[in-house]
Amino acid sequence: MGHVILLGDSVFDNSAYVGRGEPDVVRQLRGRLPAGWGATLAAVDGAVTGSVPRQLERIPPGATHLVVSVGGNDALRRQDVLGAPARSVSEALLALAEVRDGFARAYRAMLEALLARGLPTAICTIYDPRFPDPARQRVAVAALALFNDIIAREAFARGLPLVDLRLVCSEDADYANPIEPSARGGAKIAGAIAGLVTGHDFARRRSGVFAQG
């Protein structure tokens, strides 16, 4: 029997964004897991990378797997950099590099706290938003690539499985608004997580990329 803990932000804690009567991610995950398995939501809407270690205090006894999706709010907090003036492309890239390096430090510290629990752990990329303005959308996707590079590198360096939410939530209907998953997107996320925790051999400590259940 397994018990999956969802950590991070509103990608998992999305009950406020789905339609009335529609299930959130954790409810959909419970329906996708084998009989006898459970799932607990420890993620909190609005959380950043530095918030996740505190969420570990909410883990119930008997937890068997940790899955974290975080980083989108870290990016939102630094979106001011995108509008800052720069005298050259090089200067702009250096400013982005500072943001990337800060996120890398925070993300590594968060992972150390998770891995200290000694439980099978999986991490998720940040999905692409769905901004209606094409220019804003292109800028956001390009900027998030810096954050996702850190997440993927940490997964591969540590032998952790990775749920690539950019591939999971690939259609407009997967979003309740530009940055939150709808019930349909949540179903896809739940399917990918269920497939991962039941199908991945964590004992081998080899990374794998999951994009569907």
pLDDT per residue as tens digits for the range 12-43: 999 999 988 999 999 999 999 999 999 999 99
Decide if pLDDT at 86 tops 80: no
d(CA 43, CA 67): 10
Decide if pLDDT at 152 tops 80: yes
pLDDT score recorded for residue 94: 84
d(CA 211, CA 166): 8
Residues 6 or more apart whose Cβ sits within 8 Å of residue 186: 14, 18, 23, 24, 25, 28
Does pTM top 0.85 for this prediction? yes
Averaged pLDDT, 155-180: 96
CB 52 within 8 A of CB 68: yes
Decide if pLDDT at 213 tops 70: no
Decide if pLDDT at 150 tops 90: yes
Averaged pLDDT, 58-76: 94
d(CA 203, CA 187): 27
CB 106 within 8 A of CB 70: no
pLDDT score recorded for residue 101: 92
pLDDT score recorded for residue 76: 86
pLDDT per residue as tens digits for the range 93-113: 888 888 899 999 999 999 999
- DSSP structure class, residue 133: S
pLDDT band at 79 (very low <50, low <70, confident <90, very high): confident
Residues 6 or more apart whose Cβ sits within 8 Å of residue 138: none
- What domains are there in the chain, each with its CATH number? 3-210 (3.40.50.1110)
